[in-house]
């Protein structure tokens, strides 16, 4: 696998960063995950815009223009055989003596790698659990400091589940690494954007595609109690696409099978990917 690190393309095994990188010491950085289908980057503009928003929020200037980043990303995709893959891009504040204040005059560290992406088959449904949202109040920043998310996801795995759905003050926020949709009375509902959720690119695409297809959907707060009578629950992300949750906290969701609205939206999503491949 060829990766990009600070101006160079090189094999992963040869990529090195100093231990005093603030990403390593403080988790002081942000990231993006961008799917690639047949060499085509999925919703690149939206990913680059979200990266810019994350960088602004942590007061870090992007060392590249959007065009420069696009060229690097496309170059890396080609070097990794241009097929299906998922790009992980991370920018940290750079290397300096360990002190909390932002150091002056250092260069950000930019690292990009490509990982295989699994072809998603129509899911037979997954289990999820719920948990109090123990994270901080800037969840809209795609920060690399993910310890709470890692612990929460691991709790789900320990419970034999695929995702942990997070509840803050009695309301559904998102998954440990995904956004959440529920279906009530045939309407798909997802929480509105706020500082408490990551504005998912997959989430936005689903809303856009559903509106285009005249399928009822809205952004609204979801009380935790509503989760328990939802006909369908989905978790969405760039790598997992749209996963139907058929068991929540050991109770069956809806009929216990992936729901009809999920199936419609899943098909629309697959068509969207197919069009991107043919571009
Ligand atoms: N995570 N919410 C959180 C907390 C996430 O970590 C993610 C994705 C999402 C979905 O965003 P998107 O649709 O843009 O992928 C929502 C990525 C995939 C990760 O950390 O690996």
DSSP letters, 7-26, are TEEEEGGG----TTBHHHHH
Residue 142 annotated to the active site:
yes
Say if residues 253 and 229 touch (Cβ distance below 8 Å): no
Q: Which domains does the chain have, with CATH numbers?
A: 2-116 (3.30.470.10), 126-278 (3.20.10.10)
The alpha carbon of 191 and the centre of ligand 1 are apart by a number of angstroms equal to: 15
The mean pLDDT of the chain is: 97
Among residues 79, 97, 127, 142, the one annotated as catalytic is 142
Say if residues 107 and 15 touch (Cβ distance below 8 Å): no
> Closest residue (by CA) to atom 16 of ligand 1?
178
List, for the chain, all residue ranges whose pLDDT scores fall below the cut of 70. Answer: 119-120
The alpha carbon of 203 and the centre of ligand 1 are apart by a number of angstroms equal to: 10
pLDDT in tens, 179-221: 999 999 999 999 999 999 999 999 999 999 999 999 999 999 9
Looking from the CA of residue 197, the nearest atom of ligand 1 is 2
> Closest residue (by CA) to atom 1 of ligand 1?
177
Burial 37-69, CB ≥16 within 10 A → b, else e: bebbbbbbebbbebbeebbeebebebbbeeeeb
> Closest residue (by CA) to atom 19 of ligand 1?
177
Say if residues 228 and 248 touch (Cβ distance below 8 Å): yes
Strand pairing category for 163-168 and 126-132: parallel
């Amino acid at each position: 696998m060829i990766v990009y690190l600070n101006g160079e393309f090189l094999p992963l095994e040869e990529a090195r960063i100093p231990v005093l990188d603030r990403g390593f010491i403080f988790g002081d950085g942000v990231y993006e995950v961008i799917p690639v289908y047949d060499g085509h980057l999925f919703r690149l503009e939206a990913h680059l815009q979200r990266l810019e928003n994350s960088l602004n929020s942590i007061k870090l200037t992007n060392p590249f223009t959007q065009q420069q980043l696009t060229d690097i990303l496309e170059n890396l995709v080609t070097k990794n055989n241009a097929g299906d893959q998922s790009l992980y891009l991370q920018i940290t504040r750079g290397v300096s003596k360990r002190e909390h204040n932002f150091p002056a005059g250092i260069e950000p560290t930019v690292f990009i790698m490509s990982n295989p992406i699994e072809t998603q088959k129509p899911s037979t449904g997954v289990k999820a659990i719920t948990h109090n949202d123990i994270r901080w109040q800037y969840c809209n920043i795609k920060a690399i400091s993910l310890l709470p998310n890692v612990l929460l996801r691991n709790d789900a795995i320990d419970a034999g589940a695929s995702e942990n759905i997070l509840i803050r003050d009695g309301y559904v926020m998102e998954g440990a690494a995904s956004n959440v949709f529920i279906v009530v009375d045939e309407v798909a509902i997802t929480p509105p954007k706020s500082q408490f959720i990551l504005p998912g690119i997959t989430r936005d695409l689903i809303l856009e595609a559903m509106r285009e297809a005249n399928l009822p959907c809205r952004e609204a707060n979801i009380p935790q109690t509503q989760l328990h009578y939802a006909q369908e629950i989905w978790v969405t992300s760039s790598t997992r696409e749209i996963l139907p949750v058929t068991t929540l906290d050991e109770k069956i969701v809806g009929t216990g099978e992936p729901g009809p609205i999920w199936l419609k939206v899943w098909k629309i999503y697959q068509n969207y990917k197919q069009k991107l491949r043919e571009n």
